[in-house]
Structure 1
Amino acid sequence: MPHNLKVTYREAGQGDEVLVLLHGFLCDARCWRPQLTGLSQNRRVVAWDAPGAGGSEDPPAPFTLVDWSHALAAFLDRIGVERAHFLGLSWGGVLAQVFCQLYAQRVRGLILADTYAGWRGSLPAETCRLRLARCEADASLPPQAMAARWTPEMFSAQASSTLWDELRPVIADFHPAGFSLMARSLAETDTTVQLAHIRAHKVPTLLIWGENDQRSSLSIARHMHAQIPHARLVVLAQAGHLSPMECPEAFNAEVHAFLCL
């Protein structure tokens, strides 16, 4: 399986400490604008476009979260990052968990935001099946129809129209093949083993959730917190699924405090 795929990325700041940002599906590095700006003082912050998203190359099928983990390791080698903190949002949080088990020596700490223990590990089997079927059907939608269909699920009811306007073009630029592969990887993944690894090795971990997350409920956050008892769980009031975009100041403050421990 090729892992040296073309990968585009954005970065800000400099320093020995590195924070790597892993976006969710239907997102890319543009969704991390507030974090690239707000967390790059005294550290290097890198936001990749995962293979199958943004300006990066589509991976071949089949492609699993193990394959994305190897692709991430190869990408980090190319940009000269040996060890880092990893902040994963939604799908990116599941990737961070798998990467941590495969490349534990490269992980200084984990921040898992509005994520899952994989869909298979966090959702009833029928819900998981329906989500995957919907994603595979929606992958054939025109770009603007895709943006109109999915944007409302990503924020709380209190989100501003400015946020909607910022996210719509990102979703409209989705890769049908990459989106389908990411959805399938979520549906096929249960990270119970990875959570046990994080717990056993006491990897420093912060969990951040939007109070009004429509896609990954607080019950999922609490279940993951129970699996990683040394982690801290922070709930951001009135935020939805993309809490780093919707509540950037509060989100960044929690991340900054964690990184400074």
Structure 2
Amino acid sequence: MSHPSQLPSTGSFASIPLSGDDSLSCLQLGQGERLCILIHGSLCDGRYWWPQFDDLSAGRRLCSPSLRHYFPAAPDPTVRLDWRRDVGDLLALVERLSPDAPVDLIGHSRGGAIAYQLARQRPDRVRRLVLAEPGGATQAGTPADPVLMQEWKAALSAKLARGEYESAVGQFIDGVSRAGSWLHSPRDFKRMALDNAHTLVSQMDDPLPAYAEADVAQLALPVLLVKGQRSRERFVVTVDTLARWLPDARVVEIAGASHGMNLAHPRAFNAAVLDFLDAA
């Protein structure tokens, strides 16, 4: 299995109309009857999935959208992210690109939470669902200390206000992954994260909803849950709890990986996803 060695260029994005004047910038690859939509998480954009493009586009169509306000949109520190609006945008994208057949959804982190909400609202439009360490807490989990969270957000906001973008982004990446993750991140990932630094404060002001057991248990479609062997406990708790609640779930742990498992271990990640998507 292979994967591209660098990020797609800005010119690779196509603007897909939704409704009215709304549109999403998307990367599209492959051919086939099945459509797979990949949903990025915080500080990322449609380019996030570049290590998956070659392998996953064999025999199927891929669409990797950039959610509203993310690259290639011009940086705007006044943006206000809204996960509910993102769900609506993606539902419109599904209807635009695959009006007659359900799609496969792959979501990572915040994008995983959005993918879950889309599938929960319209399970008839989703064939299979892949959630890679989805964001959002479970009712069974222990929420973060609100005082510490506010202090963390305040520190990030202060750095951004002073123009210390790389320091703020690095602090966030280390916070959701492991200490030193930003330092050792690939150059292309760093560039992408810095391209989206302007979304960081707004994203922290747009909390994801908690998962409720009664709602999760009603999602009667095949779900693959992916976690990293070295990931932070809160993501592991979410994956393991969802696995107990979902009626048709499979869990895969990527050896040696943490939160960005699809970037650091693309071969293992791609193989697990393909095995799931291609299952009868």
TM-score interval (norm. to shorter):
0.7 to 0.9
Distance 2:65 2:261 in 1: 18
Q: Name which of structure 1's ranges 232-241 and 196-205 shifts more when overlaid on structure 2.
A: 196-205
Distance 2:208 2:154 in 1: 13
Supply the AA of the counterpart residue of 2:202. Answer: L
Q: Does 1:189 align with 2:232?
A: no
Contact 1:53-1:175 within 8 A present in 2 as well: no
Change (3 A) 1:169 1:258: same
Change (3 A) 1:221 1:179: same
Q: Pick from 208, 226, 240: which aligns with 1:208?
A: 226
Q: Pick from 27, 45, 60: which aligns with 2:44?
A: 27
Q: How many residues are treated as equivalent by the alignment? A: 256
Change (3 A) 1:211 1:105: same
Higher helix proportion (structure 1 or 2): 1
Gaps of 5+ in 2: 1-18
Q: Name which of structure 1's ranges 224-233 and 27-36 shifts more when overlaid on structure 2.
A: 224-233
Please provide the CA RMSD for this pair: 3.2
Q: Does 1:109 align with 2:131?
A: no
Distance 2:174 2:154 in 1: 19
The match for 1:174 is 196
Which structure has the larger Rg over C-alpha atoms? Answer: 2
Change (3 A) 1:106 1:159: same
Cα-to-partner distance string for 1:22-75 (whole Å, 9 max, x where unaligned): 0111111111001111111100111110112122477x9765322211111223
User: Could you tell me the percent identity over the aligned residues?
Assistant: 23
The match for 2:93 is 75
Q: Does 1:242 align with 2:256?
A: no
Contact 1:39-1:256 within 8 A present in 2 as well: yes
Gaps of 5+ in 1: none
Contact 2:174-2:182 within 8 A present in 1 as well: no
Distance 2:156 2:123 in 1: 31
The match for 1:99 is 118
Supply the AA of the counterpart residue of 1:12. Answer: L
Give TM-score, length-normalised by structure 2: 0.78
Cα-to-partner distance string for 1:93-150 (whole Å, 9 max, x where unaligned): 0001111122222111110001234488844152584465555555544433334434
Distance 2:187 2:258 in 1: 16
Q: Name which of structure 1's ranges 43-52 and 96-105 shifts more when overlaid on structure 2.
A: 96-105
Q: Name which of structure 1's ranges 126-135 and 96-105 shifts more when overlaid on structure 2.
A: 126-135
Change (3 A) 1:147 1:160: closer
Supply the AA of the counterpart residue of 1:220. Answer: T
Contact 1:25-1:182 within 8 A present in 2 as well: yes
> 3-state DSSP class of the match of 2:24?
coil
